[in-house]
Amino acid sequence: MKFHREEVQFEYPDNWTVEVEGSPEAGLQVSVTAPDGAFWSLSRQPVGSDPTALAEAAATQLRKEYPDLESEPVTETVFGQRLAGADINFSCLDLTNTAVFRCLELPTACYAIFCQAEDRDWQQLHHVFKAMTASLVRGLTTEGP
């Protein structure tokens, strides 16, 4: 399936559910949820937002609920674009979870990407999350179809 709203477009699995929130003033927020509860989300932040500060804020917020949370700063390159953020691990209801937070800074906005799954599903789903993120970056940074 393909999501397309304003300048944001990305591909996602057919059996996943999309929820859109936000407004032009508040910023676009999109969540895409797998049948098992894993999810990938995107929020458009103002130009000049600091990816390191956003990653730290996300980890701090999660740490309030999951005190054992571990977070490691990470930078990766997707389609020639630098995405800064963090890899996050924590336990919930005796299950370990992995989350990834990345920010894509562009002249028009900063896009914050967050995805999370239980570790027993992570091996399969992290490829899906990477493909979704890659399709977003490709759509935001290239012109044409």
**CB contact at 8 A, 132 and 40:** yes
Burial class (CB in 10 A: 0-12, 13-18, 19+), 19: exposed
pLDDT band, very low/low/confident/very high, at 24 (cuts 50, 70, 90): low
Say which CATH superfamily domain 2-141 falls into. Mog1/PsbP, alpha/beta/alpha sandwich (3.40.1000.10)
pLDDT at 22: 75
Instruction: Give domain limits for the chain.
Output: 2-141
Instruction: Read off the pLDDT band of 94 (50, 70, 90).
Output: confident
Alpha helices in the chain (DSSP H): 51-65, 119-141
130 DSSP 8-state letter: H
- H-run or E-run covering 109: none
Across residues 29-55, what is the average pLDDT?
Answer: 94
Residue 49 class from Cβ within 10 Å (0-12 exposed, 13-18 middle, 19+ buried)?
middle
pLDDT band (50, 70, 90) for residue 120: very high
Neighbouring C-beta atoms of residue 115, cutoff 10 Å: 24
